[in-house]
Homo-oligomer: A and B are copies of this chain.
Amino acid sequence: MKTVPRSKVIYSFSSQHKPAEHIKPGEIVLLETEDALGGQIKNEENSLDVLDWSKVDGATGPIFIEGAEPGDTLAVEILDIKIDEKGLIVTVPKHGILGEKPFKPSTKMAITKDGYVHFDEGVRVRADPMIGTIGVAPESDEIPSGSLGRHGGNMDVKMLTAGTKLYLPVFVEGALFAAGDMHAVQADGELCVSAIEVAGEALLKFNLIKNRKPKWPILEAHGSFAILACGKTLDEAASSASRAAVKALMREYAWSFEMAYMFGSLTVDLEINQVVDPKKGVRAVISKEFMSLDSLLT
């Protein structure tokens, strides 16, 4: 098993980055990740003013997967996630869904122990560790690791926990995968722009599906598939997720648009990933009872 240390950090997804590691399909990799603030904040007195913002939202990688070519799908299985005890959450003026309100920059440290995040005196939340940023190099240019798109990136999907699988479209040779920004817990929305930000380790297994790819990243959970779309607004993201879901239903059942559209009203749940990143994220979730992976790839 190969380990990619958290010192191998990138701040954009790009075909221009030199691989931190090369692996073969089927290999398992231990990826160490720094917290989203680059480990720069050690206590609550540490003002956000001291932050070097160029060291924020990093991802560990990139990993070159041998044989991955544009038009393929990279399948990433999240075998395990381990997180540090020590985490933190911040408010940043002008950020988050209520960024128009006047409020102060603030930092709250939170320890994760015995399965709970201890947020405040007597107030704890069940931990549910997840990976916030995960993706591959995009087709052209570079995309900051704090943003998101068809290549994945800072999607902040709370479903992205151990035991799930992510299917990413490959745009460049080797795919150039990277991940980071773990959260000890996050709700759908991520209202204030951060969650419980922690350093950690992810145990990942990579495989390839040749010559087929999804339009948007696809998350496979125990009983469902989720199409992870994004857009400038929630409405735009919801439209894109819906369009992809209805097209997949047309393929799955060989139905007309009208039939798939109606069935989507009954079986496709539009759910919010986050409302605070450069693009808003909406997932279209559909039970495996009604959808196969095959219909989600073209």
List A residues at the B interface (Cβ < 8 Å): 89-91, 96-98, 101, 103-104, 106, 108, 117, 119-120, 123, 125, 185-196, 233-235, 238-239, 242-243, 245-246, 253, 257-259, 261-272, 275, 280, 282, 284, 290
Partner of A272 from the list B186, B259, B272 (CB cut-off 8 Å) is: B272
* B104 engages A258 (CB within 8 Å): yes
Assuming the contacts A234-B238, A235-B233, asked whether A262 and B187 have C-beta atoms less than 8 A apart, the reply is no
B188 contacts A271, C-beta separation under 8 Å: yes
Name the prevailing secondary structure of the A interface residues: mixed
Q: Are A266 and B119 in contact (CB under 8 A)?
A: yes
A242 touches B191 (CB 8 A): yes
Query: In the complex where A238-B97, A272-B272 touch, is A259 in contact with B108 (Cβ < 8 A)?
Result: yes
In this complex, the member of A97, A239, A257 whose beta carbon has the largest number of chain B beta carbons within 10 angstroms is A97
Cα A161 to Cα B64 in complex, Å, equals 50
Complex: A261 Cα to B282 Cα, angstroms: 21
Q: Is the CB of A98 within 8 A of B265?
A: no
Q: Would you call A89 and B266 a contact (CB within 8 A)?
A: yes
Q: Which residue of B91, B186, B235, B267 is within 8 Å of A280 (Cβ)?
A: B235
Per the bound structure, the CA–CA distance linking A271 and B233 in Å amounts to 15
Known contacts A258-B103, A258-B106, A269-B187; A98 and B275 CB within 8 A of each other:
no
